[in-house]
Amino acid sequence: MKSFRRELWFDVPGRRAFINITSKVEDVLAESGVREGLILVNAMHITASVFINDDESGLHADYEEWLEGLAPHEPVDHYRHNRTGEDNGDAHLKRQVMGREVVVAVTDAALDFGPWEQIFYGEFDGGRRKRVLVKIIGE
């Protein structure tokens, strides 16, 4: 069994974004040479997420509105976490809802997706470099 690891780096200038990273993950898979196995993609920061869904702008706008309703950024003094001098308490909660990672089957050297599935990086506290781990195991 083969194991392969790469990091993808992102620097989102705004506070929040949803970035389709499917092609980047496919590039890592091709580089790995794995034809059958599993691929783990996970955010290595506690204010970012990796998730699978449809790449549709209306859905992304719905996510933004829904997440802001669940955990609004302001007022920042609403969150005990922000008493440490930070202003990202909402980002931690948004990450918890959207998830840390995804695992996708690799079949015949391709991501084995259902219809419309794509992999996304969700940023909830941008403005600095963050990374995503891609770990592949298989043959």
- What is the pTM (predicted TM-score) of this model? 0.95
Residue-level pLDDT at 7: 98
The three-state secondary structure class of 107 is strand
Q: What are phi and psi of 14, to 5 degrees?
A: -85, 180
The three-state secondary structure class of 67 is helix
Angle between helices 89-98 and 57-70 (to 10 degrees): 130
Structure tokens given for 84: 């440490």
Residue-level pLDDT at 23: 98
Q: Return d(Cα 87, Cα 75) in angstroms, integer.
A: 9
Nearest one of 88, 70, 69 to 79, comparing CA atoms: 88
CATH 3.90.320.10 fits 2-138, yes or no: no
Residue-level pLDDT at 11: 96
Measured in whole angstroms, the distance separating CA 59 from the mean position of its chain's CA atoms is: 16
Helices (H), 1-123: 22-32, 57-70, 89-98
Low-confidence residues in the chain, pLDDT < 50: none
Q: What is the pLDDT of residues 113-123, one digit of tens each?
A: 999 999 999 99
The three-state secondary structure class of 40 is strand
Residue-level pLDDT at 77: 92
CB proximity list for 57: less than 8 A, separation 6 or greater: none
